Every structure is written in C-alpha cells, then in structure tokens.
C-alpha cells in the first residue's frame, strides 16, 4: 500500500514518523514522509490513493478542504493530535477547537495518546466514538532505551546545566501579533485572548528570570530550547551578549539511562513531559496563578512560584537529592498508553493493514515529483530565494544516510530498506 506521513514540525514529529514509516515499509508498503506538499500532490492527483497520517484535523476552512479532497481521492485518513494528550485545563474547549463532527466525517481514525484523551474524546464526540483508537503516540516509542541510545551522540556533561524550554514567548513568535488573533479571517473567542494575555505576562517573567540567573550564576551553562514557532533573532535581541547562554533549535533528544546534572524549567511544554517520563529534574515555573497552569506537564512537575525558589534550588543543590514523586510519575505513565510497552508504531501499522486493497496499492510515478522539485529548487537558487523553514528545515543526503544507519541499529531488518530523497522535505522509503 501507499503510506503518506505528513509532518508539520520536524523536531517534534519526524523521528516518530520515520519509525512508523520504516515499520510499515518492512511490511512491504511504499512510504512517503514529508511536509504538506504531500497533501498538495494528493489533491492534484499526482499521487495515487493511500493511507495518510495527519498531525491534526483542526476544523479550519483550509484543513477541511484538504481532508475532503483527500477522501474524495479515495485516501484513508488517520490523524494523531500532537497537542492533545497533555492538555489539562478545559479539555472540552480544547477538543472542540481541534475537532468537529465535520472534520471527523472526513477521517477514518484518530490515534490517541492514552486513556485520558481517549475517554474524553469519546464523551465529547459520542457519535464518532468508534473512530478514536487508543494506540499511544509513536513519539514515546522513541523513549525505549534500545531506540533512544542510538539517537544520542554526546555524553552528558557533569557540570550543572540549566535547560529552559520555551513555549509561546510572545516577543519571539514568527507570526505578526495581529495574525495570532485570527484564524481563517475570523476572530478567535475570548478564551484565546485570555490565554494570550497570560502568555504575554509569562514572557515578561521568563525574561526577568533568565536575566537574574545569568547574573546570579555567571558560570552556569544555560541552554534555551527555542520553540519552532519562535525566531532566534528575536531572542538574541532581548538577551544580547550573554556568554553563558546557548540557544538550541532542532531535535532535542533525551534518554532515561543518561544520568546528568541538568535541570529542566518550563511552563507547560510537551517536551517537558518527555523529561518527566525519563525521570529528569523538571521544574514548572509558575509566577502567575492561572487556570492555564493546569496542564499535565505542569501539575506533574516540581512547581516553583518565584525566582528566589529557583535560585535556592540551584544553590543548595537540591537536585542532587531530587526524588521523583512516585504518584506523579505513575500518573504520567498512565496518561501515555505506550510509556512502558513502546508499541504505538506496531499498533498503528497493524491497524492500517486491514485496509489492504488494490485501490491503495497502485504504484506512484515519483520521477515526475523529483524532476518538478529539482526544477523548482534550481529556479529558486538562480533568484537567490531558496526558502528556509524553521518548522521544517530541508533534509540533506548525509542526514538521510545517518538516519538510515541509526534505524539499522534499532532494527537490523531495516537494512533491507531503500531511502530516497524526493525533494527538500520529501523522503521515500520502501524495500529494496
């Protein structure tokens, strides 16, 4: 069958999609992984019908048109909401923004992170409850140390290190402020305005905190992990000439078996949830009391409400004796159905196999796609207008080779797979 895996944010989704793709390809399927160009190719009938995995089915006008066209072109549509498993506050409001009966009507299945979002979705959309499947999120398959150790290249430093995980810093966003308040030319509801005001206030507090930490601990290594929707240039304008600050973009990978002296500070980050499951020292900084603090990464972290508390935490080296709250850890583990068994990829690919049919198995002529991408790149290069995308930087041949070698270490069967770069952000995987 043809399998189409659509990626929005490379560092968040790509590795998990790669693992799904390799697992599916080893079963004899023809896999295409990439950005939303895949959608355009399907809509324009440049690709034959297949099974498509989307990162969300948010019922905005543009997305609904895409989903409808994919279904009209005889595709099987699956989705896994990459933000849906860890929302704590007002889950109903979240679900109604991310799903609707209309978007669900164009979707064959929605893969859930665990019991928490699975049971909530079924209650909120009872008429579509059969479409929700509790598979787990393949991102957490990557936490299996047999897999994770292959993606970590550097040994952790013995020095104390502070990682600040950024999420929604207002000043650093790529989009214009006015654009953040509208979706499809319609003003968002009051809920969004309240949230935006909260994030603006949190932004101010985080900048004050970082400046205080650099002053208090001039030799402390501080690593700011920038959200893909943020612009590093804006960060450097706010924090210029700070020698002990490093800005990190791209893939951030953590493993359970690496004991280090890293302290993670966040305010509701999904990446922090990974760190919690890996038993890292994770602090949720909450200088403002708000319902928006009630996210699962926040409530399951060590909550700190002031700069002073964080400074004391570092000075007294409390992290040396840091003990994981067993109740919180168990709660995190239950939220993610594949936090222990790491079987989401197998569950998803097994589910797809039941759709085996001739209609989904017609081979694609990818040579036309390759030629089209090459011509487009050549024209852009001539005009010095090769686009750079922060959410999804282009692949390189060396990157592709490295990833293939890593996958073979994960599973020797993957050595039978052929990886082909179809375009800057398109990879084809199939058996040799």
3-state SS class at 54: strand
Any idea of the CA torsion for 19, 20, 21, 25, to the nearest 10 degrees? 100
pLDDT on residue 185: 44
Q: E strand or H helix at 8, and its extent?
A: none
pLDDT on residue 5: 96
Is the entire prediction scored with pTM above 0.75?
Answer: yes
For the chain, what is the total number of helices (H) and then of strands (E)? 16, 16
Ramachandran angles phi, psi of 257, nearest 5°? -90, 0
The DSSP-derived string for 188-209 is --HHHHHHHHHHHHHHHHHHHH
Which region holds residue 317: left if phi is over 0, alpha if psi is between -120 and 50, else beta? left
Rounded average pLDDT per 10-residue block, the chain, 432 residues? 92 90 94 90 89 92 92 94 74 87 96 91 96 93 83 65 82 58 53 81 91 89 84 82 79 60 87 83 92 85 91 75 70 81 93 90 83 62 59 84 89 92 89 89
Asked whether the beta carbons of 75 and 50 are under 8 A apart, the reply is yes
pLDDT on residue 253: 61
pLDDT on residue 212: 92
| Beta-sheet pairing, 245-248 with 221-225 | parallel
Count the neighbouring beta carbons within 10 Å of the beta carbon of residue 281.
22
Domains of the chain: 2-144+342-431 (3.40.50), 148-335 (3.40.50.2000)
């Amino acid at each position: 069958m043809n399998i189409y895996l659509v990626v929005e944010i490379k560092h968040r989704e790509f590795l998990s999609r790669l693992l799904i793709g390799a697992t599916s390809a080893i079963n004899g399927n023809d896999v295409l992984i990439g950005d939303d160009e895949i959608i355009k190719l399907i809509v324009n009938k440049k690709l034959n019908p297949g099974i498509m995995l989307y990162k969300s089915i948010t019922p905005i006008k543009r997305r609904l048109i895409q989903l409808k066209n994919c279904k009209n072109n005889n595709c099987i549509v699956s989705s896994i909401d990459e933000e849906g498993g860890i929302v704590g506050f007002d889950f109903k409001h979240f679900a109604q923004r991310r799903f609707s009966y209309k978007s669900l009507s164009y979707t064959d299945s929605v893969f859930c992170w665990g019991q928490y979002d699975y049971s909530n979705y079924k209650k909120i959309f009872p008429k579509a409850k059969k479409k929700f499947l509790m598979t787990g999120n393949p991102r957490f398959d990557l936490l299996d140390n047999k897999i994770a150790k292959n993606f970590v290249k550097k040994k952790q430093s013995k020095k104390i290190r502070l990682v600040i995980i950024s999420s929604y810093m207002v000043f650093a966003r790529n989009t214009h402020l006015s654009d953040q308040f509208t979706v499809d030319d319609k003003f968002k509801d009051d809920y969004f305005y309240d949230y935006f005001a909260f994030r603006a206030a949190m932004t101010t507090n985080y900048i004050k905190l970082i400046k205080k930490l650099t002053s208090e601990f001039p030799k402390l290594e501080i690593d700011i992990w920038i959200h893909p929707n943020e612009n590093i240039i804006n960060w450097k304008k706010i924090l210029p000439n700070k020698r002990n600050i490093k800005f990190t973009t791209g893939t951030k990978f953590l493993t359970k078996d690496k004991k280090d002296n890293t302290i993670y500070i966040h305010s509701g980050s999904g990446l922090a949830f990974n760190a919690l499951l890996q038993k890292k020292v994770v602090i949720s900084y909450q200088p403002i009391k708000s319902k928006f603090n009630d996210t699962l990464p926040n409530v399951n972290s060590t909550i700190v409400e002031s700069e002073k508390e964080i400074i004391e935490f570092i000075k007294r080296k409390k992290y040396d004796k840091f003990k994981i709250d067993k109740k919180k850890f168990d709660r995190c583990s239950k939220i993610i159905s594949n936090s222990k068994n790491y079987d989401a990829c197998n569950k998803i690919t097994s589910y797809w196999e039941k759709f085996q049919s001739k209609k989904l198995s017609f081979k694609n002529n990818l040579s036309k796609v390759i030629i089209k991408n090459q011509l487009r790149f050549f024209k852009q290069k001539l005009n010095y207008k090769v686009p750079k995308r922060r959410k999804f930087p282009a692949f390189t041949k060396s990157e592709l080779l490295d990833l293939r070698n890593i996958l073979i270490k994960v599973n020797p069967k993957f050595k039978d797979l052929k990886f082909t770069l179809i375009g800057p952000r398109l990879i084809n995987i199939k058996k040799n």
